[in-house]
Amino acid sequence: MATQEQLRARLREMARQEGPPVTNIAIVSAVNEGNATCTLVDEDGQEFFDVRLRPVLSGNKSFIQIPKIGSYVLAVRIEDDEDWMVIAQDETDKFLWITPTAKVEVSDKILIEANENNLLTLMQRLFTVIEKGYTTNDGPTIELIFIQEFENIKNDFKKLLK
């Protein structure tokens, strides 16, 4: 008589013979951000092309995670089709959230836009106004005491935001 674990193993084997697996852990070999797809390679070396990064490839944008090439992902089958979708990843290159009036992108820098305004552009305008407030045609009206710190902050915003 077979043990409970042997029966489970046999049932898993029979299920694999009758149909494809419903999940797959694989490595990302390529990403097409524009199409919201990637290519995966599983442990057997089998390639899976056009794996979705969001459930519906309608062209609408709302939320997408771009996995890092070479990272592991968990992909699931979409219904009873040959299509796959990434549902989790261990490393991410970029997050992108888009609403009708706002956009947030997180990668090596952060992009924040809302109602046709960009945070970095607004910060640069603010710094320009502050700098102009300390200067007239005749020279400085008030000496900006912490000029180096001010320049450092301006540069830090440029490094943080895009």
Q: What is the tens place of the pLDDT at every residue in 89-107?
A: 999 999 999 999 899 999 9
For residues 143 and 154, the model is more confident at: 154
Residue 137 has pLDDT above 70, yes or no: no
Give the C-alpha separation, 17 to 12, whole Å.
9
pTM of the complete model beyond 0.95: no
User: 67: closest CA among 84, 43, 45, 46?
Assistant: 84
Q: What is the pLDDT of residue 93?
A: 96
